[in-house]
Structure 1
Amino acid sequence: MAATVRGAIRELIEQTMVTMAALLEASDRELSVPSSHGCAQGKDVWTLITNDIDHEKIHTGQVLEGRYESRITASPMERLVAEWLVERARFIGSLIGLTDEQFNTETGPGQWTYRAIAKHVLTVEQDSLKTMAADQAARGVVLRDNSGSRSSPTSP
Protein backbone atom coordinates (compact mmCIF):
# COMPACT_ATOMS: atom_id res chain seq x y z
CA MET A 1 0.00 0.00 0.00
CA ALA A 2 1.24 3.44 -0.88
CA ALA A 3 2.71 5.55 1.92
CA THR A 4 0.58 8.58 1.02
CA VAL A 5 -3.18 9.02 1.28
CA ARG A 6 -3.50 10.01 -2.38
CA GLY A 7 -1.38 7.05 -3.42
CA ALA A 8 -3.52 4.70 -1.34
CA ILE A 9 -6.72 6.17 -2.78
CA ARG A 10 -5.31 5.70 -6.29
CA GLU A 11 -4.48 2.04 -5.51
CA LEU A 12 -7.97 1.48 -4.13
CA ILE A 13 -9.63 3.05 -7.19
CA GLU A 14 -7.41 1.05 -9.57
CA GLN A 15 -8.23 -2.18 -7.71
CA THR A 16 -11.92 -1.27 -7.82
CA MET A 17 -11.70 -1.26 -11.62
CA VAL A 18 -9.91 -4.65 -11.64
CA THR A 19 -12.41 -6.20 -9.23
CA MET A 20 -15.40 -4.76 -11.05
CA ALA A 21 -14.13 -6.17 -14.37
CA ALA A 22 -13.50 -9.61 -12.86
CA LEU A 23 -16.92 -9.77 -11.21
CA LEU A 24 -18.76 -8.55 -14.30
CA GLU A 25 -16.98 -11.16 -16.44
CA ALA A 26 -18.27 -13.92 -14.15
CA SER A 27 -21.80 -15.20 -14.61
CA ASP A 28 -24.53 -15.05 -11.98
CA ARG A 29 -24.17 -18.85 -11.70
CA GLU A 30 -20.68 -18.29 -10.29
CA LEU A 31 -22.25 -16.83 -7.14
CA SER A 32 -23.63 -20.21 -6.03
CA VAL A 33 -20.34 -22.07 -6.61
CA PRO A 34 -18.55 -23.17 -3.41
CA SER A 35 -15.53 -21.04 -2.50
CA SER A 36 -12.37 -22.32 -0.83
CA HIS A 37 -11.57 -18.86 0.59
CA GLY A 38 -11.77 -18.71 4.38
CA CYS A 39 -13.94 -15.61 4.31
CA ALA A 40 -16.63 -17.58 2.44
CA GLN A 41 -17.14 -19.44 5.74
CA GLY A 42 -17.41 -22.81 3.98
CA LYS A 43 -20.07 -21.44 1.66
CA ASP A 44 -20.24 -19.96 -1.84
CA VAL A 45 -18.86 -17.05 -3.86
CA TRP A 46 -21.94 -14.94 -2.94
CA THR A 47 -21.00 -15.29 0.74
CA LEU A 48 -17.38 -14.43 -0.04
CA ILE A 49 -18.25 -11.24 -1.93
CA THR A 50 -20.92 -10.10 0.54
CA ASN A 51 -18.43 -10.74 3.34
CA ASP A 52 -15.93 -8.53 1.47
CA ILE A 53 -18.60 -5.80 1.25
CA ASP A 54 -19.37 -6.08 4.97
CA HIS A 55 -15.64 -6.16 5.74
CA GLU A 56 -15.19 -2.87 3.90
CA LYS A 57 -18.11 -1.34 5.83
CA ILE A 58 -16.57 -2.47 9.12
CA HIS A 59 -13.24 -0.87 8.27
CA THR A 60 -14.93 2.30 7.02
CA GLY A 61 -16.48 2.55 10.47
CA GLN A 62 -13.10 1.91 12.04
CA VAL A 63 -11.51 4.76 10.05
CA LEU A 64 -14.40 7.13 10.81
CA GLU A 65 -14.29 6.28 14.52
CA GLY A 66 -10.50 6.72 14.58
CA ARG A 67 -10.83 10.11 12.91
CA TYR A 68 -13.61 11.11 15.31
CA GLU A 69 -11.71 10.03 18.42
CA SER A 70 -8.54 11.74 17.17
CA ARG A 71 -10.49 14.84 16.16
CA ILE A 72 -9.31 14.54 12.56
CA THR A 73 -12.22 16.35 10.98
CA ALA A 74 -12.40 16.70 7.23
CA SER A 75 -12.40 20.22 5.87
CA PRO A 76 -15.52 21.37 4.02
CA MET A 77 -13.82 20.67 0.65
CA GLU A 78 -12.60 17.24 1.77
CA ARG A 79 -16.11 16.35 2.94
CA LEU A 80 -17.55 17.61 -0.34
CA VAL A 81 -15.12 15.48 -2.36
CA ALA A 82 -15.92 12.40 -0.25
CA GLU A 83 -19.66 12.88 -0.75
CA TRP A 84 -19.17 13.51 -4.48
CA LEU A 85 -17.20 10.26 -4.73
CA VAL A 86 -20.10 8.36 -3.13
CA GLU A 87 -22.51 9.84 -5.68
CA ARG A 88 -20.13 9.04 -8.55
CA ALA A 89 -20.01 5.43 -7.37
CA ARG A 90 -23.82 5.40 -7.17
CA PHE A 91 -24.05 6.78 -10.73
CA ILE A 92 -21.58 4.22 -12.06
CA GLY A 93 -23.52 1.53 -10.21
CA SER A 94 -26.69 2.60 -12.00
CA LEU A 95 -24.99 1.86 -15.34
CA ILE A 96 -23.73 -1.60 -14.37
CA GLY A 97 -25.68 -4.34 -16.09
CA LEU A 98 -26.70 -2.33 -19.15
CA THR A 99 -25.58 -3.86 -22.42
CA ASP A 100 -23.78 -1.61 -24.89
CA GLU A 101 -26.95 -1.63 -26.98
CA GLN A 102 -29.09 -0.59 -24.00
CA PHE A 103 -26.51 2.07 -23.06
CA ASN A 104 -27.12 3.68 -26.45
CA THR A 105 -30.94 3.61 -26.25
CA GLU A 106 -33.27 6.23 -24.82
CA THR A 107 -34.27 5.93 -21.18
CA GLY A 108 -37.83 6.46 -22.36
CA PRO A 109 -39.61 7.64 -25.50
CA GLY A 110 -38.12 10.98 -26.54
CA GLN A 111 -35.68 10.96 -23.60
CA TRP A 112 -31.88 11.06 -23.53
CA THR A 113 -29.91 7.86 -24.02
CA TYR A 114 -28.06 6.42 -21.04
CA ARG A 115 -24.85 7.31 -22.88
CA ALA A 116 -25.99 10.93 -23.35
CA ILE A 117 -26.73 11.13 -19.63
CA ALA A 118 -23.27 9.79 -18.77
CA LYS A 119 -21.67 12.23 -21.22
CA HIS A 120 -23.74 15.07 -19.73
CA VAL A 121 -22.61 14.19 -16.18
CA LEU A 122 -18.99 14.12 -17.35
CA THR A 123 -19.28 17.36 -19.34
CA VAL A 124 -20.95 19.26 -16.49
CA GLU A 125 -18.20 18.12 -14.12
CA GLN A 126 -15.42 19.10 -16.54
CA ASP A 127 -17.06 22.48 -17.17
CA SER A 128 -17.38 23.11 -13.43
CA LEU A 129 -13.68 22.37 -12.91
CA LYS A 130 -12.65 24.62 -15.82
CA THR A 131 -14.79 27.45 -14.49
CA MET A 132 -13.45 26.97 -10.98
CA ALA A 133 -9.84 27.04 -12.25
CA ALA A 134 -10.48 30.13 -14.39
CA ASP A 135 -12.15 31.93 -11.49
CA GLN A 136 -9.25 31.03 -9.19
CA ALA A 137 -6.70 32.22 -11.75
CA ALA A 138 -8.59 35.50 -12.18
CA ARG A 139 -8.42 36.04 -8.43
CA GLY A 140 -4.73 35.05 -8.30
CA VAL A 141 -5.51 32.21 -5.90
CA VAL A 142 -2.57 30.03 -4.86
CA LEU A 143 -3.42 26.44 -5.77
CA ARG A 144 -2.15 23.14 -4.42
CA ASP A 145 -0.78 20.62 -6.85
CA ASN A 146 -1.55 16.89 -6.55
CA SER A 147 1.23 16.42 -4.00
CA GLY A 148 -0.30 19.01 -1.68
CA SER A 149 2.51 21.49 -2.39
CA ARG A 150 1.58 25.10 -2.99
CA SER A 151 2.00 26.46 -6.50
CA SER A 152 0.89 29.62 -8.20
CA PRO A 153 -1.67 29.44 -11.02
CA THR A 154 1.05 30.39 -13.53
CA SER A 155 3.75 27.93 -12.44
CA PRO A 156 3.72 24.21 -13.32
Structure 2
Amino acid sequence: MATVMGSWTFIIIQSGILFAWITANLVGTIRGWDRGWDPCPFILLNLALSFQAAYAAPVIMMAQNRQQDIDRTAAENDYRINVKAELEIELLHEKIDQLREREVLKLTEAVRMLTELQQQSASGTCGSDAEGGRPL
Protein backbone atom coordinates (compact mmCIF):
# COMPACT_ATOMS: atom_id res chain seq x y z
CA MET A 1 0.00 0.00 0.00
CA ALA A 2 2.89 2.34 0.74
CA THR A 3 4.25 1.64 -2.74
CA VAL A 4 0.91 2.51 -4.34
CA MET A 5 0.29 5.63 -2.23
CA GLY A 6 3.82 6.88 -2.86
CA SER A 7 3.56 6.69 -6.63
CA TRP A 8 2.89 9.40 -9.20
CA THR A 9 -0.02 7.38 -10.53
CA PHE A 10 -1.79 7.58 -7.17
CA ILE A 11 -1.11 11.31 -6.85
CA ILE A 12 -2.43 12.02 -10.34
CA ILE A 13 -5.55 9.87 -9.85
CA GLN A 14 -6.27 11.39 -6.43
CA SER A 15 -5.79 14.91 -7.80
CA GLY A 16 -8.22 14.12 -10.62
CA ILE A 17 -10.82 12.78 -8.17
CA LEU A 18 -10.46 15.86 -5.94
CA PHE A 19 -10.76 18.18 -8.93
CA ALA A 20 -13.85 16.31 -10.18
CA TRP A 21 -15.41 16.33 -6.68
CA ILE A 22 -14.90 20.08 -6.21
CA THR A 23 -16.00 20.90 -9.77
CA ALA A 24 -19.16 18.78 -9.55
CA ASN A 25 -20.13 20.33 -6.23
CA LEU A 26 -19.47 23.88 -7.43
CA VAL A 27 -21.42 23.31 -10.64
CA GLY A 28 -24.27 21.71 -8.64
CA THR A 29 -24.33 24.66 -6.28
CA ILE A 30 -24.37 27.18 -9.16
CA ARG A 31 -27.17 25.35 -10.99
CA GLY A 32 -29.17 24.92 -7.83
CA TRP A 33 -29.17 21.07 -7.51
CA ASP A 34 -29.83 21.05 -3.80
CA ARG A 35 -26.55 22.87 -3.33
CA GLY A 36 -24.61 19.70 -4.41
CA TRP A 37 -24.01 16.72 -2.13
CA ASP A 38 -21.06 18.44 -0.42
CA PRO A 39 -21.52 22.18 -0.42
CA CYS A 40 -18.70 24.70 -0.29
CA PRO A 41 -16.55 24.23 2.63
CA PHE A 42 -16.52 20.58 1.39
CA ILE A 43 -16.95 19.00 4.81
CA LEU A 44 -17.52 15.50 3.35
CA LEU A 45 -14.36 15.82 1.23
CA ASN A 46 -12.37 16.91 4.30
CA LEU A 47 -13.78 13.93 6.20
CA ALA A 48 -12.77 11.54 3.39
CA LEU A 49 -9.26 12.97 3.15
CA SER A 50 -8.82 12.87 6.94
CA PHE A 51 -10.00 9.25 6.95
CA GLN A 52 -7.51 8.41 4.19
CA ALA A 53 -4.65 10.16 6.04
CA ALA A 54 -5.56 8.45 9.32
CA TYR A 55 -5.15 5.03 7.70
CA ALA A 56 -2.35 5.87 5.28
CA ALA A 57 0.12 7.11 7.89
CA PRO A 58 0.16 3.91 10.01
CA VAL A 59 0.30 1.73 6.90
CA ILE A 60 3.26 3.70 5.57
CA MET A 61 4.98 3.49 8.98
CA MET A 62 4.44 -0.29 9.07
CA ALA A 63 5.89 -0.59 5.57
CA GLN A 64 8.93 1.45 6.63
CA ASN A 65 9.40 -0.75 9.72
CA ARG A 66 9.17 -3.86 7.56
CA GLN A 67 11.71 -2.42 5.13
CA GLN A 68 13.98 -1.52 8.05
CA ASP A 69 13.82 -5.14 9.26
CA ILE A 70 14.66 -6.38 5.76
CA ASP A 71 17.59 -3.93 5.54
CA ARG A 72 18.86 -5.01 8.98
CA THR A 73 18.73 -8.68 7.97
CA ALA A 74 20.56 -7.90 4.73
CA ALA A 75 23.23 -5.98 6.66
CA GLU A 76 23.71 -8.91 9.05
CA ASN A 77 24.06 -11.30 6.11
CA ASP A 78 26.60 -8.98 4.47
CA TYR A 79 28.57 -8.86 7.72
CA ARG A 80 28.64 -12.65 8.00
CA ILE A 81 29.75 -12.97 4.39
CA ASN A 82 32.50 -10.39 4.93
CA VAL A 83 33.75 -12.20 8.05
CA LYS A 84 33.81 -15.50 6.18
CA ALA A 85 35.65 -13.91 3.25
CA GLU A 86 38.19 -12.41 5.64
CA LEU A 87 38.83 -15.82 7.21
CA GLU A 88 39.25 -17.38 3.77
CA ILE A 89 41.71 -14.66 2.78
CA GLU A 90 43.69 -15.26 5.98
CA LEU A 91 43.82 -18.97 5.18
CA LEU A 92 45.08 -18.23 1.68
CA HIS A 93 47.78 -15.94 3.10
CA GLU A 94 48.92 -18.71 5.44
CA LYS A 95 49.10 -21.17 2.53
CA ILE A 96 51.10 -18.71 0.43
CA ASP A 97 53.47 -18.13 3.37
CA GLN A 98 53.98 -21.89 3.72
CA LEU A 99 54.71 -22.21 0.01
CA ARG A 100 57.23 -19.36 0.24
CA GLU A 101 58.94 -20.99 3.20
CA ARG A 102 59.24 -24.27 1.29
CA GLU A 103 60.56 -22.47 -1.77
CA VAL A 104 63.14 -20.55 0.33
CA LEU A 105 64.28 -23.82 1.93
CA LYS A 106 64.64 -25.45 -1.49
CA LEU A 107 66.56 -22.48 -2.85
CA THR A 108 68.80 -22.39 0.21
CA GLU A 109 69.52 -26.11 -0.21
CA ALA A 110 70.24 -25.61 -3.91
CA VAL A 111 72.65 -22.75 -3.17
CA ARG A 112 74.38 -24.86 -0.50
CA MET A 113 74.79 -27.77 -2.93
CA LEU A 114 76.12 -25.50 -5.68
CA THR A 115 78.56 -23.95 -3.24
CA GLU A 116 79.79 -27.41 -2.21
CA LEU A 117 80.17 -28.45 -5.87
CA GLN A 118 82.09 -25.29 -6.65
CA GLN A 119 84.38 -25.81 -3.67
CA GLN A 120 84.98 -29.46 -4.66
CA SER A 121 85.76 -28.58 -8.23
CA ALA A 122 88.08 -25.75 -7.19
CA SER A 123 90.04 -27.85 -4.70
CA GLY A 124 90.20 -31.04 -6.82
CA THR A 125 91.90 -29.76 -9.98
CA CYS A 126 94.01 -26.87 -8.66
CA GLY A 127 93.60 -25.11 -11.95
CA SER A 128 96.25 -27.14 -13.98
CA ASP A 129 96.57 -30.23 -16.09
CA ALA A 130 98.26 -33.22 -14.35
CA GLU A 131 100.60 -34.07 -17.27
CA GLY A 132 102.40 -30.95 -18.17
CA GLY A 133 101.36 -28.40 -15.65
CA ARG A 134 99.45 -26.48 -18.25
CA PRO A 135 96.49 -24.43 -17.13
CA LEU A 136 93.13 -25.71 -18.11
TM-score with structure 1 setting the length: 0.26
Q: Which has the higher helix share?
A: 2
Greater gyration radius:
2
Which structure has more RCO (C-alpha within 8 Å, separation ≥ 6)?
2
TM-score with structure 2 setting the length: 0.29
